[in-house]
Amino acid sequence: MAVPWFVLEVQFLAKETITYNLYAILDIETTGGKYNEEGITEIAIYKFDGHEIVDQFSSLVNPEKSIQPFVVNLTGINNEMLRNAPKFYEVAKRIIEITEGCILVAHNAQFDNRILRTEFDRLGYDFDIPTLCTVELSKKLIPDLPSYSLGKLVRSLGIPITDRHRAQGDAKATVTLFKMLLEKDTAKEIITEAVKKDPKRQLEPKLLDIIQSAPESIGVYYMHRKNGKIIYIGKSRNIKKRLVQHFSNDNKKSKKIQLEVASVTYEVTGNDLIAQLKESKEIKKLKPIFNHALKRTIFQSQLYSFTDEKGYLNLKIEKVTSEKDASKTILTTFTNYQQAKSFLFNITDEFQLCQKLTHLEKEEGSCFNFGIKTCFGACIEKESPSDYNVRVQKFIDKTSYEHNSMLILDKGRDVDEHSVILIEDGIYKGYGFYNLNFQINSPEILKSIIVPMENNRDTQHIIQGYLRKNKNLKVVKLT
């Protein structure tokens, strides 16, 4: 059989380049009718690199057959509208170009892929492309929702949708949905499968090509072998710059990575807090062979409070232990003792506390601060426990979120987006991204956009450390 003319043109235009996580997210409207006899009336495709739309195509299509009446009522597309629209063979070249090297993503992908393959079969062209279905992904990553139809699903997630049952509106909503699913996929199964499905990834890419494709943005990056397996996870304020360091270093570990890495994927986070939380969680969960430090906790010192026999609230630094002591309240953790000691000196001065009751001094009698009149005499019982404890409690309330419920709002991944960290009753629940305020003001929608994360000592340290360094961060207390 002769090769169709539009295929020859596409082959002539094709370049030997390596693609990185490209998805063709599409929606198709059809005439309805008997199985495999439907015709396409409208198609919209958004080429998505996992972070943003890089190309798009949409068009009405003349199916050369009548539309079923119920479809006219559903979509608003009628026979008259399609009279002068291009026929499928006239848009076939553009469809091949925009889907080249991509994974096809659709809501009920089996249907859209079947319709496209049927149309291309009629032209004598084998349209064979790997697929991902957002219905199946949603059921796995966002379980127990009442409905997974596109309209009801995006409504429950607070995703705006316009022109429902029109290809462009439904495809654009699917892009937003897929972006959210990528965030919720903390096991990185989608990306791993994408790497395995892309045949061009089997080639050994040049390190320079990997660097050039990386963004100069804050985020987390994942190094893959040829089979898609993640071998290293890192985070950086500038991913491109960090990759340059990886690939230009000549130490033993860097050389091993350079030999084994086949591709690098990444997730832009918009701020360093989410990058730290994602890196910590995913290294512990996925255990890449070249990550060592974060497979275990790296926080060696902790600050705790307790009440002594005289009724005074004490603050003290100790080594992090796995043993729990009901008499101690752990307030925050630190990478090392010196960091903890420096912090304790600062808050002792800020809240006019006693250096003996913060265990920075061990001498008998009054503390040094009492001599310079920044301690009011708790060390020699000149100040009552009730008065002294008020200031200690102010510090505890400011530093610890043990019994607090709150939202931490920060920058998002682009100018019109924000991020949110959810803490309920002192437990870190996860993070999410939102564009519209109603998404965080509605409890049900807020919970649906949050990517669930594990609460542990490391996440507590990361969040508290970030709050200490970023005092102007917006924090919304929840009742």
Which one, of 265, 320, 304, 319, lies nearest residue 288 by Cα?
265
* Rounded Cα distance, 375 and 417, in Å: 46
Which fold would CATH assign to domain 189-292? GIY-YIG endonuclease (3.40.1440)
Q: Is 193 exposed, middle or buried (0-12, 13-18, 19+ CB in 10 A)?
A: middle
Q: From the CA atom positions of the chain, what is the Rg in Å?
A: 29
Q: Is the pLDDT of residue 245 over 90?
A: no
Which fold would CATH assign to domain 5-184? Nucleotidyltransferase; domain 5 (3.30.420)
Spans of all domains in the chain? 5-184, 189-292, 301-399, 406-477
Q: What is the pLDDT of residues 29-86, one digit of tens each?
A: 999 988 888 999 999 999 999 889 999 999 999 999 999 999 999 999 999 999 999 9
Which residue has better confidence, 149 or 213? 149
pLDDT classification of 19: cutoffs 50, 70, 90: very low
- Residue 95 tokens, joined: 């469809």
The confidence score (pLDDT) of residue 282 equals 92
Which residue has better confidence, 11 or 166? 166
Helix (H) or strand (E) holding 423: strand 418-424
Which residue has better confidence, 13 or 312? 312
Distances (CA, A) of 226 to 51, 154, 197, 282, 476: 22, 35, 11, 20, 44
